[in-house]
């Protein structure tokens, strides 16, 4: 084991030892395969069931990277253009004809971002769940733009929920079926590693939230009580749930499955996108005023230890995650944990502290 591998493993072990998170998977990949993989802690604290490499988690907003890539696939096929209006592909919205696909991708649409803490439904409701009705209800409650599209960056889950509807309109498939056929099957990722339904409850992580914290109290007051199960060792445990909109946060996966997607984006000749589309995927974007917004067509941009990366943190009730690509190092990193993450800043801080070990030579 190399010194950097030892440092990274110790840091991950310490997260579990000091009870910062119940369980975590962490994978480092290059264009060829897995360089490092870790699975530690508990997927179920009460039952003392450990996290293994085949445990599945909710990826939350890390899903948005796949949604953006799906849009670029459809652009590549000539079925949509990034400057098309949202209305051209999905007219059932209240936001006017100025909002474009590009505005949605780079989070400059001006569409509101209400807290999605109640945008969940139980596994027993899933078969009969009406996603279109849920989206219409969300937009009905928040029908007005916050600013003119393109003016500035402002995060919105509704924006990516709508991109999922664009994928469906252009492809003639449900969003989840499109991802299955055009992502997971093409990369030989089995349903046990990535999909939009829990493949096996015996391998799925229970989501947790610290009870005695400001966030824990806030979530308890804001969430549907049916989502909260019991208290276990100072944490609320949450019932297994699905996101109302798969395109903004519904991916269920292991870090192995996520890593396979990052691996493809690192290849000289990717399977999911042409080299030209991949370059477009990573091109920095600006507001209509010419100001940088720290976004590409789907990724947040950043630097760690003076190394540029593209990333997408995810967080929600019971889970948090992050995916990052470090092109100069030729690596991608994906991690998933079963602890509530609602702050992008905190999730990125955790990624920084972990990834630094891998980026440091020796």
Q: Encode pLDDT of 252-272 as tens digits.
A: 999 999 999 999 999 999 999
**Percentage of the chain modeled with pLDDT above 70:** 98
pLDDT, mean of residues 71-95: 98
pLDDT-derived band of residue 104, with 50, 70 and 90 as boundaries? very high
Residue 10 lies in domain = 3-359
What is the domain count for the chain?
1
Average model confidence (pLDDT) for the chain? 95
The mean pLDDT of 309-330, rounded to a whole number, is 96
pLDDT, position 116: 86
Average pLDDT over residues 179-207: 98
Q: Which of 2-6, 22-26, 45-49, 349-353 has the lowest mean pLDDT?
A: 2-6
142-190 per-position pLDDT tens digit: 999 999 999 999 999 999 999 999 999 999 999 999 999 999 999 999 9
The pLDDT, as a whole number, for residue 287 is 97
Which residues have a Cβ under 8 Å from the Cβ of 255 and sit 6 or more positions away? Answer: 25, 26, 27, 37, 53, 334, 335, 336
CATH number of the domain encompassing residue 25: 3.40.710.10
- 155: Cβ contacts below 8 Å, ≥ 6 apart: 107, 113
pLDDT for 115 equals: 87
Average pLDDT (93-99) is: 98
Residue 2: its pLDDT value, please?
86
pLDDT of residue 362: 63
The pLDDT value recorded for residue 213 is 76
Class of residue 172 by CB neighbours under 10 A (exposed 0-12, middle 13-18, buried 19+): exposed
pTM (global) more than 0.75: yes
Comparing CA positions, the residue from 288, 273, 301, 64 lying closest to residue 162 is 64
Q: Which residues of 185-202 are buried (b: 16+ CB within 10 A; e: fewer)?
A: eebebebebbbbebbeee
d(CA 243, CA 354) in angstroms, rounded, equals 28
pLDDT at 3: 84
CA atoms within 13 A of residue 238's CA, in its CB half-sphere? 31
Q: Which residues contact 2 (CB under 8 A, 6 or more apart)?
A: none
pLDDT of residue 278: 97
Tens-place pLDDT, residues 276-308: 999 999 999 999 999 999 999 999 999 999 999
Q: What percentage of the chain reaches a pLDDT higher than 90? A: 89
Confidence class for position 118, pLDDT limits 50, 70, 90: confident
Residue 221 has pLDDT above 90, yes or no: no
């Amino acid at each position: 084991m190399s010194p950097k591998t030892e440092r990274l493993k110790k840091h991950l072990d310490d997260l579990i030892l000091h009870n910062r998170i119940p369980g975590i998977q962490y994978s480092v990949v290059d264009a060829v395969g897995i360089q490092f993989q870790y699975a530690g802690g508990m997927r179920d604290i009460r039952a003392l069931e450990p996290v293994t490499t085949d445990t599945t988690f909710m990826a939350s907003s890390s899903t948005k990277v796949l949604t953006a890539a799906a849009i670029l696939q459809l652009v590549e096929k000539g079925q949509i253009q990034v400057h098309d209006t949202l209305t051209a592909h999905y007219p059932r919205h209240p936001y006017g004809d100025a909002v474009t696909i590009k505005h949605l991708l780079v989070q400059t649409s001006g569409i509101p971002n209400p807290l999605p803490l109640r945008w969940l439904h139980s596994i027993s409701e899933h078969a009969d769940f009406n996603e279109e009705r849920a989206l219409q209800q969300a937009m009905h409650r928040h029908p007005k733009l916050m600013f003119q599209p393109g003016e500035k960056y402002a995060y919105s889950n509704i924006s990516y929920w709508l991109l999922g509807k664009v994928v469906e309109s252009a492809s003639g498939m449900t969003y989840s079926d499109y991802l299955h056929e055009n992502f997971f099957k093409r990369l030989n990722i089995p349903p046990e590693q990535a999909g939009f339904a829990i493949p096996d409850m015996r391998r799925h992580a229970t989501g947790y939230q610290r009870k005695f914290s400001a966030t824990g109290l806030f979530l308890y007051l804001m969430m549907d009580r049916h989502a909260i199960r019991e208290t276990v060792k100072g944490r609320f445990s949450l019932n297994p749930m699905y996101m109302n909109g798969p395109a903004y946060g519904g991916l269920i996966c292991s870090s192995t499955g996520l890593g396979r997607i990052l691996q493809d984006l690192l290849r000289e000749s990717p399977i999911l996108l042409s080299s030209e589309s991949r370059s477009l995927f990573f091109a920095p974007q600006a507001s209509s005023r010419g100001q940088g917004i720290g976004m590409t067509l789907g990724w947040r941009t950043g630097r760690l230890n003076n190394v540029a990366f593209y990333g997408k943190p995810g967080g929600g009730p019971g889970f948090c995650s992050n995916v990052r690509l470090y092109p100069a190092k030729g690596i991608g990193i994906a991690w998933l944990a079963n602890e509530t993450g609602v702050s992008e800043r905190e999730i990125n801080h955790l990624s920084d502290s972990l990834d630094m070990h891998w980026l440091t030579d020796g």
